[in-house]
A and B are shown apart, each in its own frame.
Chain A
Amino acid sequence: MNGVFDLGGTDGLGKVQTIENEPVFRAEWEKAAFAMFSNCFRAGFFGVDSFRHSIEKMDPAEYLLSNYYEHWVHVIEDRGAQKGVIDPAELDARTQFFLDNPDAPLPEREDPDLLAFVDAVVKSGAPANRPTDKEARFAVGDKVTVIADSPYGHTRRARYIRGRTGEITAAHGAAIYPDSAGNDGPEAPEHLYTVRFTAEELWGPGTAEPNNTVYFDVWEPYLTTAS
């Protein structure tokens, strides 16, 4: 989908605001929001691609103005409602309760299996590379153009590379295809490549800074041989 989250090359968003010695979590709620990602992943709310797509479908003004971990909270609400686990009206009522009673305790529950899962997933992760019988259509050194489609739904084909031509610098085998998995389809693995674009190709020779390149990972269906 064409959305505000696809930020590469957007102008007018101001200076980068760095903060010295920023804490990993700036508030207690950020810890809970962070934990919801892995805990709800385990409960089958989403994969990493459908997680991202849920964020992409946020109200665009809210996306730009809210905290990063509020995006994650949005996903839990959105996917939790889809799964029938989170009732939005109940959530609103209970939010009001905690606004009125900020020191009210959370329910107590023990779950050693969840703790074991947390330690295991942090250590080993969830790899996205997949075996495939498909032969790779492209190879390192090939000149390729990113097909200038604007698909609806989830894609990693950022707007600033569409229609642009570059050179394949690495071939990585196959990986889960976000344009399928991110739209709640099957993993449908596709070959993955890294493509090198010059700044002149991306932004135009009159605008580009000199001597810059961008490396971007693309799945095979995004590509065609450069003419």
Chain B
Amino acid sequence: MAQPTDTPLRTQEEITARVKALEAMLIEKGIMTTEAVDRLAEIYENEVGPQLGAQVVARAWTDPEFKQRLLADASAACAEMGIGGLQGEEMVVVENTDTVHNVIVCTLCSCYPWPVLGLPPNWYKAPAYRSRIVREPRKVLAEDFGFPIPDDVEVRIWDSSSELRYWVLPQRPAGTEGLGAFELAALVTRDSMIGVGPVGTP
């Protein structure tokens, strides 16, 4: 049966054996441990993910002074909430408005703000998105993501070419006036913080 990481070049069995052999050698050389693998997997499967970015967005929607600090220095503002670290040492939050829609990409590799969004989905790292989103973003958003942007809204693409890590503060949806930060965070999707999808509706 086909496996998710089969490629035209190698089967999952072949990749698995190669990585296991490499891991065995690195363990013997005193560089790796299986515990370190398990710990890192635990962190990015269960502790660090888009739920953290969603908490930051919800706070920005409900606390105007925090939002100011977030837009001025995202890493410092996130640190107030205990959020930050590897691949988000210098984060920059870009705000969607009625006239501007922001989208992030890394055309040269796959840079992504791990501390707030976790590890990137495979499509973000794959050639189709990286090649096209800078050239035909309206077409990609409308046709590939089902998320058209009106012509009178400027689309800004942030190509993460340095160690700055950009991510998007989406607009607070209408009809959420009565909601608290916890309920609001549940509406914030990973894709809305990349810029390729909407936030949820209450």
Contacts and interface: CB of A to CB of B under 8 A. Distances in A.
Contacts of B115: 125
B159 interface: yes
A91 B19 contact: no
Contact of B22 (A36, A212, A216): A36
B163 interface: yes
Contact of A66 (B9, B39, B145): B9
Given A211-B151, A213-B155, A214-B157, A9 B135 contact: yes
A3 to B, nearest CB: 10
Q: Bin chain A's interface residue count.
A: 35 or more
A15 B25 contact: no
Contacts of A86: 22, 25-26
Interface string A17-34: 111001111111111111
B123 A18 contact: yes
Contact of B39 (A118, A202, A218): A118
B26 A39 contact: yes
A85 interface: yes
Q: Bin chain B's interface residue count.
A: 35 or more
Contacts of A149: none
Contact of B108 (A106, A111, A158): A158
Contacts of A110: 33, 35
Contact of A90 (B9, B17, B25, B137): B25
Contacts of A11: 131-132, 135
A39 B132 CA distance: 33
B20 A124 contact: no
A16 B126 contact: yes
20 contacts: A8-B108, A23-B45, A34-B119, A36-B26, A95-B18, A98-B17, A102-B17, A106-B34, A114-B36, A115-B35, A123-B84, A127-B90, A128-B89, A128-B162, A209-B136, A209-B155, A212-B156, A213-B154, A217-B159, A217-B164
